[in-house]
Chains A and B, each alone.
Chain A
Amino acid sequence: MSRVFDAWALPPGFEVPERPDLSFEAGQQTVGYLDADPDWLHGLLDTLCDARTRLLGRTARDIAAALGAVGARFLDPGDSLRAEALELLPAESGLSPQMATVVLDGMAGDWGEERLRVLLAAEFGDDACLDAFVARGWQRSMATGPSLCLQVVSGSVPGVGVTALIRSLLVKSPTLLKPGRGDSVLPVLFASALAEADAELAEALAVVYWPGGSEALEEVALARADTVVAYGGDDVVRSLRDRAPVTTRFVAYHHRVSVGVVGLEGLQEAIAEQSAAALANAVAIFDQRGCVSPQVVYVEEGGEVSPRAFAGLLATSLAALERDLPGGVLDRAEASALHQMRGTAELMAASDRGVEVQHGGDAHWTVIFDLGATHLTACTGRSVQVKPLSDLARLPDLLAPMRAHLQTVGTAGLGDRATALAVRLGRAGVSRVVTFAEVPFPPPWWHHDGGSPLGDLVRWFDLGGV
């Protein structure tokens, strides 16, 4: 690809450093980034902080309207912003064009004004608390966002960066977003469109990529932000948290793992195929890069369709999905991991009568049935392990070793046992029990990894009888 995509968006009028840009390859896309130094970054942060006063002068609803207007453009079929996003996303992310469309629709669906208003209401009840003191219980209170929020996204699930910057701007916080290596297109497009639509709001936002671990830059950003939000692997999150001042609020979205469970009602002859298709879709969206993407699915024994037969249906569904939502391009490390996983599974199948492997050859989907206690997952290329489950009630115990990293449990056919099981799963560390259809795109007001997307960013202060 000859065109370079510049991975930065600065407050209107703020100058780039007087040095040539650097670049890296994200998928098929060359991504340019600024050769920033600490002095330049200090200047940028000064500008962002200056914008806070103007931000505080606006109501949260007004900001939601401005952000929502830009967000809605990504869904408008006739809008040039959507067209540009869809042109750039496949190359940057490695997702197929069809998948990129589904992902954009799913993510941007939450960026419109109406959804943001619901988010504010869900988080604060009366969102006027961000603008003035309001009566809350027995006192009057008010909430304020960070004076400077650093959002660090690593990884390449497209759209995570935009969702991140929307959250902190909604609580009136000047925001510096370091986007993920494979997720710079959407935040940069969003910020540029915001600058056209609402320059005052755009003055409080900067999107600047730098290679993760650039100590001099991160030292400046970590020292000046009063709230840091980190999205990424455990190592990335640990490294940032270790370097942030003790007084800095730190919100961590570290590694997560998600699974699926299919109960007897979902295994009836008439609907098992439907259950498998819904699961296949949940696995395929984001090509399994999302923290919500199931890696292992537990299938209840004793149903009309056996767990082994269900694995076959799942394979059929994943194969069929290749037509409508083709898998994307794996990078070299992912391709290597897939070979290791498939080859090992094939050897295990050759050594054990119970184990079965089905895969798509050049297509990346892989279904492995029953490895006993072994786990063999690649989190890449749509690979799922199907395990028989004799007793649904054992599921929370089976997941217990991963307690600290659990996130979503996707379900089908739990019938009236669903709520009781969800109670136990929640207490075991799971933060979300939903149908397979709901798995890929949580609503904006979800308890993200158990926290509150906006609530975790604000600080409350109370007013007594003065």
Chain B
Amino acid sequence: MTLRERTSPQKAPLGADDLDALVTTLQRRFTERVDTPWGETDFEALALRVFEYQFRHNATYQGFCRGRGASPESVQSWREIPAVPATAFKHLDLVAGSPHGVEAVFHTSGTTRDGGARGRHLVPRLSLYRASLLPPFKAHLLPDRDRIRFVSLIPSPEEQPRSSLSHMVGMAGEAFASEVHWGVDGSGAILREALADAFRSANKSAEPVLLLGTAFAFVHALDQHELGPLPAGSRIMETGGLKGRSRELPAAELRRALSAATGAALDHIVSEYGMTELLSQLYTLVLSERDSGIELVPPPWLRVRALDPTTLEEVAEGSDGLLAFFDLANAGSVSHVLTEDVGSVTRGRVRLAGRFDGAEPRGCSRTMDELMTAAATPQ
């Protein structure tokens, strides 16, 4: 199969969506209840609209889709919309419309696994990111209250303007925080004094706290004994467990250790799953529904499928596969993303299984892109 066919991007027909019309529609829909899944046809209609917009305004994606025989005319279901590999974000700016008008550029952190290569996600409208992140954040972390004191082990957006996670904490803080205490600097190093002060003043006021951090940051903070008891009603948001950079702790063990150190009940320790390439997040339901805390639930505008790693066909409900996400909040870039994360999907909810075996690589060679990137990136 050779991909030579190339046509110039089609002009948007009169009356087709422009980004602002699409964003307005989506933002309105995102204010609906997040705990009620949308019907298939409801999601489908929006997904096809989003696809048409992305197809018409991103020549690269259009060429990719055409190479796979897909166009707005041919595609009948959101499942048939070509998914881009997450790796592509490392090599291309996948933005629909002009890359010059974007409001934010988020960079991926670059894990050891991928040799340190950084991807980036151009975000044309931050308002859509805000609209997609706030309602699930509220529903899963603050079902019982409107405001709470934030203590963050995630760097502030001022310190880390390129981190989508920092932006998320910043925007959530503006919406829901009575006050925000940043417990780390821009590099993620713990600010011992500031963190100790935050714990002291929280305990003095006896107001509950929302402690936020990556699994990596929490493991580090636990190792350094930087976490102390928190007032009753406090809760914790833990994220990024799969992509930890150093000592990896199984999620359940980390939750137990966090509970022991802070006194937060296990049903007040919520896991969040997100990635730079997706503007929506998934959460466990431990706090909102007193669920077991294993399944992650997406918001209604994000659909997840587990695919057979060879054929990319959808696997049976509950079976492990590569996770592919269709995120309407990604309207300004590309919505359908194929990841290398492995998990199963049951009634729309996701159970993560890490990565495929890969304990030992089968060959003795290493990919050249990893080596080239590693050489170009200071360790």
Contact = CB atoms under 8 A, between A and B. Distances in A.
A357 interface: yes
A332 B1 contact: no
B200 interface: no
A212 B369 CA distance: 26
B310 A335 contact: yes
A289 B364 contact: yes
Interface residues of B, number: 51
Interface in B1-57: 1-4, 6
A406 to B, nearest CB: 9
Interface residues of A, number: 66
Contacts of A154: 360-361
Given A341-B87, A346-B64, A375-B368, A380 B363 contact: yes
Given A336-B340, A379-B363, A401 B87 contact: no
A344 B89 CA distance: 8
Contacts of B342: 332
A333 B92 contact: no
A343 B3 contact: no
Interface string A341-372: 10110111111010011110100000000000
A356 B309 CA distance: 24
B329 to A, nearest CB: 21
Nearest to B310: A335
Interface in A379-414: 379-380, 385, 401-402, 405
Contacts, number: 188
Given A181-B360, A351-B60, A379 B6 contact: no
| Most A-side CB within 10 Å, residue of B60, B94, B340, B371 | B371
B84 interface: yes
Interface stretch (B153-161, B190-198, B246-254, B351-359): B351-359
Nearest to B117: A375
A457 B59 CA distance: 58
B312 interface: yes
A244 interface: no
B71 interface: no
A61 interface: no
Interface of B: 1-4, 6, 59-64, 66-68, 83-88, 90-92, 94, 309-310, 312, 322, 338, 340, 342, 355-369, 371-373, 375-376
Interface of A: 94, 154-157, 160, 180-182, 211-212, 231-234, 236, 253, 255-259, 286, 288-291, 293, 295-296, 330-337, 339-341, 343-344, 346-351, 353, 356-359, 361, 374-380, 385, 401-402, 405
Given A257-B365, A257-B368, A346-B67, 10 more contacts: A157-B362, A255-B365, A258-B365, A290-B364, A333-B309, A347-B64, A350-B63, A350-B66, A379-B363, A402-B371
